[in-house]
């Protein structure tokens, strides 16, 4: 979650669910919390009962809206304009928390002279390289600081601007030299922010988002009235914000707003990222992601060569917490390669494979469809239903030599060769598909032990209850025994390519007849130990860069402190404080609320008695309070680093954001963002309207796969596809359905694919409630039942009415209840920072009745041409090259 | 059992005898009702667990008897969920015990029209052999620009958000050691 | 023991249906069919022999007091319905076999080992709660988790409810809680809030409900009868029905003899 990472330093929710009860106002936007996180929603309800104002901003009136004091319908894909409008309001009416902003953010920093804003360049920032579709960020930097100011919280992409080291100078003084504490300098961040958002007026919000001014002002007033010393407001979001081509900037906009209001690191404040899978936070922390090593260290890039020193130099920050990176990187290599990893051989850093570009899920699928990927493992995911452009996903699967699927049951991804819309239609014959498919039944969570990391960074250990049925096994079992077999197959090899496998440590104790590996042993390795005596370390502060310690994921170090599985702690909530620090274990260092130093004023006193959380105890000379202080425990508020201070010493007593090189939260991001230092409203790649703010229609740095099998509609107002579609979950099902569509108790509650339309659209298109409709995009079509409801309203945008259609995406062609898959309608476009799919705003058509042809763009379908007289509409201004969004694979094709 | 015996167990019969016309109290109760108890009391263990659906992280109590799950309920000790569950969490019992669970390893050969059963060990051997064959055939020491890459782009992985941290850790560790870089999960969707 | 019941506060219901599923899980109930109804998010339709908690969804063209929304005069009400465990329970009074009893918790319980499926109770319920299952013919409804109460456990639905819309407890405590809630809501300007079926005074036709509700609109909006009257309302049992029941029991007994096993497992 780089949106949070860039702004604050860590890619995780800044607070925990129970803290929502302390909020005076809660804005839920980009999330349908009551439906998708009902049990977490109890804390919102509790806040409401305690008098908090609950606001839901959403295209639909949902079960969350039903509980809200204020529901604001908004056009899907326009949230930056809305949030930008709130920023504008806060700045314009001077409702920001001045002491907080001045001391804890980079508001006072002066940006280089060459910086130009989207206001100057009609939707671009300075540095845009039209040939590449990327930014050169030199002009975004702090004035007087050599090189790039490195981003703390997004060390994920090598290609990302500023992932590298912090320029030539070192020491904290460099960030202090060019500041204007009066916030008046025309190039200070505060003034740039004002200028950037000056046109995001209530009138523009109305025009872009379809939100009447009066409603918008209600939200603005509620937020401002409930922020400051005495009061705090919280934001909750989920994939309604992330699944866009500007998704990370959505989160950035909310981060800026919350910083201006002084709501980060304080009780009842924060930004609660609500994640949708049991351990999706964990699978980012201990990443099954191509661009990361455990603990948010970047995967090495081929350009860096095989030299560890080069890697460390590139990614180590001279100031702030990331100055510790060498300790964490070396400890990881020791955990992976054991005794074979020595100082002399650079701890076998050269063993790691190298990136050369985008190797994300979507790129891999495109490569797969083009025959470049031969073997595929899919474990507990169902891309044939859950991922963008289902028919391209299945085309990819058909081109494989072999596929391994591990799941509870025969999901669509396992059965693509005999159950898929294109098979049913006869476009593809089962006999012609050469893919060899292995289906392994998976053990359930009750049949194995281990930890999930929940949405608030909390690791919770589960004990094993029963044995898995038949040949079902855990993924731990599968991967361990696969590794054991491969080690045996390669045992005699002398080839250099096989050395990493030979050197990787793989000696986990096993138990029982099935030889199940010990998850505790794996968790202990993740926690880390001293190499000499295998004694478990107590936390990441014990880790060293000399090879004397090993740790599989530094941010999880401490989860096994004192030889005790801290994640298995289950002291009942009612027997401890409301923070419940003895239930499970949260990273980092069991801190439940991040950046909590900011809950105290610069002098270390609580901002108010009412919002007391962590403070400086002058007598004991320590930070103390309700939680583990997210700060150097004994660093006094009046500590000021020396001119040449480096590393953690460079963090002053008023620098609550310790992961950042300058200890401040970033209103303006000098680095780390692919698509601009400040969030800007761009239209989704398929929109009903032209961008009302800039000549540039779409995010100019977005990822777009321009392929014949991925047709896009006209950029705006496509007469063939006049309506806005948005996809989502409902309470009664889970994601792509693998864990819900087979269960009678859930399936009976939402038994069919349906869409939601307004009575006006129903009248216009002859749709009847409970009847059938066919929805279409250039990618495919789908039959579904119709719910005609007042919960969806047409929105008036700039004088024209825009209809929005809701489409839950849970169903597929197998299971107890079936449909052909809503994500088959999606294009393949993505955010440039995290390669996340755009599924929350696209265009399409709807007609009454059952008229699906089953045609798919990845097989035979060709969309009808634009009607005569309708010109193509450009997504990019003329200055953007045709090739800007060409993908790596397309270039390869051209080269051939 | 005789007809009279059965009639004797008929509550109304007893009520008539005892003059209880409100059906309140002991007379109306059958033996079954009198001895009714929740099935959870038969559990030999209550195992502490966590809901496998979304990321709220609700605590679950799993009641087990003789190696079988009797019941799964919310864990009142959890400071996050306080014993509550949503419909998905409440359906966990069906998720883990339902007859939709596949018990055998299944195999579909190239061009095949049906699944075939495979022994687990044999299937594991076959997958290991496929990984080696593909890896060896698609290995790149260097990329097109001559830079060291030490990898294969011939194999990819997807999934992790529904798995345990320990599992994700071993997946990343093994696949990285094998030179597989295309390791991805639900965080992209 | 004391009188136990449910207080269902519809202002706190988020319509998640955890109660429906938790009930099915605990009582191991079968599905009720897979039918898209088009009635908002309600695809269960009604309480029945296999659905003992049912969440109603009401989309109404009336604003909710205290709520501002951009979708116009509109609000979405949700209510988890359940057997009311009436003080004068029509089902119990109509039951000729003694299968339906009032328990020591003052709840109304159908004894499945006694019920012979005569169906008298079905028509006697003014709420349409109790019904017969097609496969075995017996009548089924919410037991108020009679099996759990004995061990001091909370009924499954109330335990699962994420927002405390369903509260289980001693009836007098529930009454106090409900009165306080009404007061608080009225103070907040939600003057539409009222209690449905709290006691005999509130609902003479049933003598009051052990499972009573806080509603924001007329009962019929939620699918509840405005003025339910138990048809057989009188202190004693309909002894005429008992004679019929006896015939039924005799038939059952005969059947069991013929089959050489107990009437009910």
What average pLDDT does chain A have? 94
Calculate mean pLDDT across residues A712-729: 97
Start-to-end C-alpha separation, chain A: 37
CB-based contact A655:A619 (threshold 8 Å): no
| Inter-chain residue contact C14 with A34, CB threshold 8 Å | yes
Q: Is the pLDDT of residue A160 over 50?
A: no
Which pLDDT belongs to residue B7? Answer: 52
Q: Find the closest chain C residue to A73 by CA distance.
A: C70
In chain B, residues with a C-beta closer than 8 Å to the C-beta of A283 are 160-161, 163, 165, 168, 185-187
Measured CA to CA, the distance from residue A551 to residue A315 in angstroms comes to 19
For A777-876, strand residue ranges (E) read 781-788, 795-797, 800-802, 804-808, 829-830, 842-848
Q: How do C75-82 and C53-60 pair as beta strands?
A: antiparallel
DSSP letter at A25 equals: E
A/C interface, count of CB pairs below 8 Å? 124
| Inter-chain residue contact A34 with C164, CB threshold 8 Å | no
Which pLDDT belongs to residue A892? Answer: 52
Among B45, B108, B164, select the one facing A451 at the smallest CB separation: B164
Nearest to A33 by CA among A63, A55, A57: A63
Touching partners of A (3+ C-beta pairs < 8 Å): B, C
| Inter-chain residue contact A368 with B156, CB threshold 8 Å | yes
Q: For the domain with range B39-97, which CATH number is right: 3.30.70.520, 3.30.450.40, 3.30.70.1140, 2.20.25.90?
A: 2.20.25.90
> How many residues can be counted in chain C?
265
Q: Is B46 on the interface with A (CB under 8 A)?
A: no
Interface test with C, best of B40, B85, B88, B99 (most C CBs within 10 A): B85
C201 min Cα distance to partner chain B (Å): 21
Among A359, A417, A455, select the one facing B181 at the smallest CB separation: A359
Q: Is the pLDDT of residue A167 over 70?
A: no
Calculate mean pLDDT across residues A486-497: 97
* pLDDT digit string, tens, across residues A240-280: 999 999 999 999 999 999 999 999 999 999 999 999 999 99
Interface test with B, best of C85, C87, C111 (most B CBs within 10 A): C111
B66 min Cα distance to partner chain C (Å): 19
Element (H, E) at A183: none
Element (H, E) at A718: none
If you write DSSP's letter for every residue of C58-83 in order, what string do you get?
EEESSPPTT-EETT-S-EEEEEEEE-
* pLDDT digit string, tens, across residues A93-125: 999 999 999 999 999 999 999 999 999 999 999
Q: Is C15 on the interface with A (CB under 8 A)?
A: yes
Among B50, B54, B89, select the one facing A462 at the smallest CB separation: B50
Measured CA to CA, the distance from residue A551 to residue B80 in angstroms comes to 29
Q: Is B7 on the interface with A (CB under 8 A)?
A: no
| Inter-chain residue contact A745 with C25, CB threshold 8 Å | yes
Q: Find the closest chain A residue to B53 by CA distance.
A: A278
Q: What share of chain A is helix, strand, coil (3-state, %, to 5)?
A: 30, 15, 55
| Inter-chain residue contact B3 with C254, CB threshold 8 Å | yes
> Which residue has better confidence, A317 or A230?
A230
CB-based contact C33:C199 (threshold 8 Å): no
Dmax over CA atoms of chain A, in Å, equals 80
| Inter-chain residue contact C59 with A789, CB threshold 8 Å | yes
Calculate mean pLDDT across residues B98-119: 98
Q: Which of residues 272-311 of A touch B (CB under 8 A)?
A: 274-290, 293-294, 299, 302-303, 305-306
Domains of chain C: 4-240 (3.30.70.20)
CA R_g for chain B: 29
pLDDT class of A148 with cuts at 50, 70, 90: confident
Residue A766: cis peptide before it, omega within 30 degrees of 0: no
In chain A, residues with a C-beta closer than 8 Å to the C-beta of B92 are 446
Among A41, A66, A72, select the one facing C70 at the smallest CB separation: A72
CB-based contact A83:A250 (threshold 8 Å): yes
If you write DSSP's letter for every residue of A143-169 in order, what string do you get?
TT--S----SS----TTSTT-S---S-
CB-based contact A161:A151 (threshold 8 Å): no
Q: Is A451 on the interface with B (CB under 8 A)?
A: yes
Measured CA to CA, the distance from residue A653 to residue A632 in angstroms comes to 9
Calculate mean pLDDT across residues A196-211: 98
Nearest to A798 by CA among A211, A213, A208: A208
CB atoms within 10 A of CB B78: 27
B106 min Cα distance to partner chain C (Å): 29
A12 min Cα distance to partner chain B (Å): 12
Q: Find the closest chain C residue to A731 by CA distance.
A: C16
In chain A, residues with a C-beta closer than 8 Å to the C-beta of C31 are 744-745, 747-748
Reading the block at residue A284, the tokens are: 């980012």
Measured CA to CA, the distance from residue A277 to residue A659 in angstroms comes to 26
| Inter-chain residue contact C147 with B7, CB threshold 8 Å | no
Measured CA to CA, the distance from residue A130 to residue A112 in angstroms comes to 22
Measured CA to CA, the distance from residue A233 to residue A271 in angstroms comes to 9
Distances (CA, A) of B61 to A227, A278, B57, B92, C157: 39, 16, 13, 11, 16
* pLDDT digit string, tens, across residues A67-96: 999 999 999 999 999 999 999 999 999 999
In chain C, residues with a C-beta closer than 8 Å to the C-beta of A816 are 34
If you write DSSP's letter for every residue of A410-452 in order, what string do you get?
--TTTSTTTSSHHHHTTSS-GGG---EEEEEEBPPGGGS-EEE
Measured CA to CA, the distance from residue A678 to residue A250 in angstroms comes to 10
Which pLDDT belongs to residue A571? Answer: 98
CB-based contact B135:A780 (threshold 8 Å): no
| Inter-chain residue contact A791 with C59, CB threshold 8 Å | yes
Interface test with A, best of C55, C70, C76, C183 (most A CBs within 10 A): C70
The tally of CA atoms less than 13 A away on the side-chain side of residue A158 is: 23
What average pLDDT does chain B have? 91
Which pLDDT belongs to residue B24? Answer: 55
Measured CA to CA, the distance from residue A182 to residue A195 in angstroms comes to 17
Reading the block at residue A581, the tokens are: 């620090």
Nearest to A16 by CA among A457, A597, A451, A452: A457
Residue ranges per domain, chain B?
A: 3-34, 39-97, 120-188
CA R_g for chain C: 19
Q: Is A17 on the interface with B (CB under 8 A)?
A: yes
pLDDT class of A881 with cuts at 50, 70, 90: low
Q: Is C166 on the interface with A (CB under 8 A)?
A: no
B1 min Cα distance to partner chain A (Å): 39
Which pLDDT belongs to residue A161? Answer: 43
Measured CA to CA, the distance from residue C70 to residue A60 in angstroms comes to 10
Residue A612 exposed, middle or buried by CB count within 10 Å (0-12, 13-18, 19+): middle
Q: Is the pLDDT of residue A177 over 70?
A: yes
Q: Is A620 on the interface with B (CB under 8 A)?
A: no
CA angle, A459 then B176 then A281, to 5°: 25
B6 min Cα distance to partner chain C (Å): 7
Domains of chain A: 2-273 (3.40.228.10), 703-848 (2.40.40.20)
In chain A, residues with a C-beta closer than 8 Å to the C-beta of B90 are 745
Residue by residue, pLDDT tens for chain C (265 residues) are 689 999 999 999 999 999 999 999 999 999 999 999 999 999 999 999 999 999 999 999 999 999 999 999 999 999 999 999 999 999 999 999 999 999 999 999 999 999 999 999 999 999 999 999 999 999 999 999 999 999 999 999 999 999 999 999 999 999 999 999 999 999 999 999 999 999 999 999 999 999 999 999 999 999 999 999 998 654 444 545 555 545 544 444 444 333 333 333 3
Which pLDDT belongs to residue A191? Answer: 98
Calculate mean pLDDT across residues A660-668: 95
Q: Using a pLDDT cut of 70, give the percent of chain A over it.
A: 95
If you write DSSP's letter for every residue of A652-693 in order, what string do you get?
-TT---TTSTTSSB-SS-SSS-TT-SS------SSBSS--SS
Q: Find the closest chain A residue to C29 by CA distance.
A: A745
Nearest to C140 by CA among C166, C126, C122: C122
Which pLDDT belongs to residue A886? Answer: 53
CB-based contact A415:A814 (threshold 8 Å): yes
| Inter-chain residue contact A785 with C38, CB threshold 8 Å | yes
Q: Find the closest chain A residue to C55 by CA distance.
A: A749
């Amino acid at each position: 979650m780089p949106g949070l990472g860039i702004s604050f330093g860590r890619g995780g929710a800044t607070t925990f669910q129970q803290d929502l009860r302390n909020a005076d106002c809660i804005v839920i936007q980009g999330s349908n919390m009551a439906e998708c996180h009902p049990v977490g929603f109890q804390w919102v309800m509790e806040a409401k009962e305690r008098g908090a104002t609950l606001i839901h901003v959403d295209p639909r009136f949902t079960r969350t809206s039903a509980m809200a004091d204020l529901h604001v319908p908004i056009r899907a894909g326009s949230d930056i304009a809305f949030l930008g409008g709130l920023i504008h309001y806060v700045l314009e009416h001077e409702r920001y928390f001045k002491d907080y902003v001045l001391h804890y953010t980079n508001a006072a920093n002066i940006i280089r002279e060459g910086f130009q804003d989207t206001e100057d360049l009609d939707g671009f920032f300075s540095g845009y390289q039209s040939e590449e579709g990327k930014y050169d960020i030199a002009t975004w930097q702090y004035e007087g600081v050599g090189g790039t100011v490195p981003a703390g919280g997004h060390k994920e992409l090598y290609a990302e601007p500023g992932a590298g080291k912090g320029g030539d100078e070192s020491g904290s003084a460099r960030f202090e030299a060019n500041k204007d504490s009066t916030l008046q300098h025309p190039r200070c961040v505060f003034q740039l922010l004002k200028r950037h958002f000056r046109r995001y007026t209530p009138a523009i919000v109305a025009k872009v988002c379809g939100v009447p001014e009066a409603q918008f002002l209600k939200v603005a007033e509620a937020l401002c009235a409930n922020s400051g010393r005495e009061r705090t407001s919280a934001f909750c979001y989920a994939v309604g914000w992330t699944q866009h081509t500007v998704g990370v900037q959505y989160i950035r906009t909310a981060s800026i707003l919350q910083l201006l209001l002084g709501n980060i690191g304080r009780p009842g404040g924060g930004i609660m990222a609500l994640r949708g899978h049991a351990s999706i936070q964990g699978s980012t922390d201990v990443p099954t992601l191509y661009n990361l090593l455990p603990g948010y260290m970047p995967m090495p890039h081929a350009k860096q060569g095989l030299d560890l020193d080069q890697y460390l130099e590139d990614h180590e920050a001279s100031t702030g917490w990331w100055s510790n990176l060498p300790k964490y990187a070396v400890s990881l290599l020791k955990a992976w390669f054991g005794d074979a990893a020595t100082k002399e051989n650079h701890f076998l850093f050269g063993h790691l494979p190298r990136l050369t570009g985008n190797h994300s899920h979507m790129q891999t699928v495109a490569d797969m469809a083009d025959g470049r990927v031969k073997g595929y493992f899919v474990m507990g995911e169902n891309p044939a239903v859950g991922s963008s452009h289902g028919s391209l996903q299945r085309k990819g699967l058909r081109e494989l030599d072999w596929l391994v699927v591990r799941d509870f049951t025969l999901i669509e991804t396992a059965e693509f060769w005999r159950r898929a819309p294109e098979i049913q239609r006869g476009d593809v014959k089962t006999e012609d598909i050469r893919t060899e498919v292995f289906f392994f039944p998976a053990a359930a969570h009750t049949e194995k032990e281990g930890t999930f990391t929940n949405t608030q960074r909390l690791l919770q250990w589960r004990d094993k209850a029963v044995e898995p049925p038949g040949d079902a096994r855990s993924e731990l079992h599968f991967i361990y025994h696969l590794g054991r077999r491969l080690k045996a197959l390669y045992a005699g090899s002398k080839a250099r390519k096989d050395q990493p496998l030979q050197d990787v440590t793989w000696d986990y104790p096993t138990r029982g007849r099935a030889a199940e590996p010990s998850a505790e042993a794996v968790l202990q390795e993740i926690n880390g130990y001293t190499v000499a005596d295998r004694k478990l370390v107590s936390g990441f502060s014990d880790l060293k860069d000399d090879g004397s310690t090993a740790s599989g994921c530094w941010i999880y170090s401490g989860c096994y402190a004192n030889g005790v599985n801290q994640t298995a702690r289950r002291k009942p909530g009612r027997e401890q404080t409301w923070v419940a620090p003895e239930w499970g274990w949260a990273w980092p260092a069991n801190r439940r609320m991040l950046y909590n130093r900011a809950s105290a004023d610069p002098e270390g006193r609580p901002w108010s008695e009412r919002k007391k959380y962590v403070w400086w105890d002058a007598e004991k000379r320590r930070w103390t309070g309700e939680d583990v202080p997210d700060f150097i425990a004994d660093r006094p508020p009046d500590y000021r680093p020396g001119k040449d201070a480096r590393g953690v010493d460079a963090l002053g007593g008023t620098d609550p954001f310790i992961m950042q090189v300058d200890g401040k939260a970033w209103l303006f991001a000098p680095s780390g963002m692919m698509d601009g230092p400040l969030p800007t409203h761009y239209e989704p790649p398929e929109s009903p309207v032209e961008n009302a703010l800039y000549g540039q229609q779409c995010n100019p740095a977005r990822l777009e796969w321009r392929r014949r099998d991925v047709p896009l509609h006209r950029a705006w107002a496509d007469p063939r596809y006049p309506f806005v579609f948005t996809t989502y979950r409902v309470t009664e099902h889970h994601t792509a359905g693998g864990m819900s569509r087979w269960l009678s108790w859930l399936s009976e509650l939402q038994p069919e694919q349906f869409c939601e339309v307004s009575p006006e659209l129903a009248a216009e298109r002859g749709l009847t409630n409970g009847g059938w409709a066919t929805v279409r995009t250039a990618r495919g079509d789908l039959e579904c039942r119709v719910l005609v409801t007042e919960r969806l309203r047409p929105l008036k945008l700039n004088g024209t009415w825009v209809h929005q259609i809701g489409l839950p995406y849970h169903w597929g062609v197998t299971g107890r209840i079936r449909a052909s898959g809503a994500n088959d309608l999606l294009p393949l476009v993505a955010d440039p920072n995290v390669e996340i799919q755009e599924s929350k705003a696209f265009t399409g058509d709807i007609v009454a009745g059952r008229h699906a042809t089953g045609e798919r763009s990845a097989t035979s379908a060709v969309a009808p041409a634009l009607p005569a007289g309708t010109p193509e509409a450009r997504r990019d201004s003329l200055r953007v090259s045709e090739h800007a969004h060409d993908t790596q694979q397309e270039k390869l094709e051209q080269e051939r | 059992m005789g007809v009279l015996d059965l009639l004797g167990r008929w509550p109304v019969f007893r009520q008539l005898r005892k003059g209880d016309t409100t059906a309140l109290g002991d007379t109306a109760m059958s033996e079954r009702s009198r001895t009714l108890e929740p099935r959870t009391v038969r559990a030999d263990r209550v195992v502490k667990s966590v809901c496998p659906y979304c990321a709220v992280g609700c605590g679950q109590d799993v009641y087990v008897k003789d190696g079988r799950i009797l019941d799964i309920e919310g864990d009142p000790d959890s400071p996050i969920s306080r014993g509550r569950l949503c419909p998905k969490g409440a359906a966990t019992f069906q998720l883990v015990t339902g007859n939709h669970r596949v018990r055998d390893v299944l195999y579909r050969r190239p061009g095949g029209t049906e699944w075939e059963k495979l022994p687990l060990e044999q299937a594991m051997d076959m997958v290991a052999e496929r990984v080696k064959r593909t890896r060896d055939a698609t290995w790149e020491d260097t990329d097109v620009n001559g830079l060291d890459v030490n990898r294969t782009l011939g194999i990819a992985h997807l999934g992790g958000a529904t798995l345990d941290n320990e599992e994700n850790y071993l997946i990343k560790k093994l696949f990285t050691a094998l030179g597989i870089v295309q390791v991805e999960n639900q965080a992209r969707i | 023991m004391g009188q136990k019941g449910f207080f269902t506060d519809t202002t706190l219901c988020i319509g998640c249906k955890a109660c429906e599923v938790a009930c099915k899980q605990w009582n191991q109930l079968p599905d009720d069919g897979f039918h898209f109804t088009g009635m908002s998010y309600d695809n269960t339709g009604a309480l029945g022999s296999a659905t003992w908690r049912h969440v109603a969804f009401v989309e109404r063209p009336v604003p909710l007091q205290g709520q501002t929304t951009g979708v116009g005069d509109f609000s979405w009400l949700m209510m988890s319905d359940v057997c009311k465990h009436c003080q004068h329970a029509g089902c119990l009074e109509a039951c000729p076999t003694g299968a339906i009893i009032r328990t020591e918790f003052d709840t109304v319980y159908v004894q499945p080992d006694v019920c012979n499926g005569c169906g008298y109770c079905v028509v006697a319920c003014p709420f349409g709660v109790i019904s017969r299952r097609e496969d075995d013919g017996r009548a089924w409804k919410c037991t108020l988790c009679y099996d759990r109460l004995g061990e001091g456990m909370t009924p499954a639905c109330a335990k699962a409810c994420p927002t405390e819309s369903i509260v289980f407890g001693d009836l007098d405590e529930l009454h106090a809680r409900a009165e306080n809630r009404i007061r608080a809501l009225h103070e907040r300007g939600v003057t539409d809030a009222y209690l449905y079926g709290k006691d005999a005074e509130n609902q003479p036709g049933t003598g009051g409900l052990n499972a009573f509700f806080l509603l924001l609109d007329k009962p019929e909006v939620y699918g509840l009868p405005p003025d339910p009257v138990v048809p057989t309302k009188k202190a004693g049992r309909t002894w005429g029905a008992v004679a019929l029941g006896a015939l039924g029991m005799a038939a059952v007994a005969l059947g069991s003899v013929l089959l050489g096993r107990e009437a009910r497992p």
